[in-house]
Amino acid sequence: MIAWQIDTFEKQFENPDSEMSVLRLLRSVHQVTKDYENLHREILEVQQLQKQLSDSLKTQLSQVVGHFNLLRNKIVEQHKNPQLK
């Protein structure tokens, strides 16, 4: 379908310079499409890495909060029940 449209479009131009311009334009469009696809793929990779980092940080934060609560509870218990020396 696209090849037919390009062929029809090229037949409308008798001037070789115009044909070259159309070919350059098509190459440019193709290159932009490839660049877009590459950029899109890279963005998806970055988003995946961001999610992995976020999940890792949440896990680490949860562990730190757990350790903090454990230590806080030990300190509170020591103040409630001071040991005789």
Give residue-wise pLDDT tens across range 11-54: 665 566 777 777 888 888 899 999 999 999 999 999 999 999 99
Instruction: Kindly state whether residue 1 falls inside one of the protein's structural domains.
Output: no
- Tell me the C-alpha distance between 46 and 33, whole Å: 20
Q: What per-residue confidence (pLDDT) applies to 25?
A: 85
Instruction: Kindly state whether residue 9 falls inside one of the protein's structural domains.
Output: no
Instruction: Kindly state whether residue 24 falls inside one of the protein's structural domains.
Output: no
> Is 58's pLDDT higher than 80?
yes
Instruction: State how many domains the chain has.
Output: 1
Confidence of residue 80 (pLDDT cuts 50, 70, 90): confident
7 is written with which tokens?
Answer: 């062929």
Q: What per-residue confidence (pLDDT) applies to 8?
A: 66
- Whether this prediction's pTM lies above 0.85 is answered by no
Instruction: Kindly state whether residue 23 falls inside one of the protein's structural domains.
Output: no
Longest dimension (CA), the chain: 106
Q: What is the mean pLDDT of residues 72-79?
A: 92
Instruction: Kindly state whether residue 28 falls inside one of the protein's structural domains.
Output: no
Instruction: Kindly state whether residue 50 falls inside one of the protein's structural domains.
Output: yes
Structural domain boundaries enclosing 59: 33-79
46 is written with which tokens?
Answer: 């970055």
Instruction: Kindly state whether residue 66 falls inside one of the protein's structural domains.
Output: yes
Q: What per-residue confidence (pLDDT) applies to 14?
A: 58
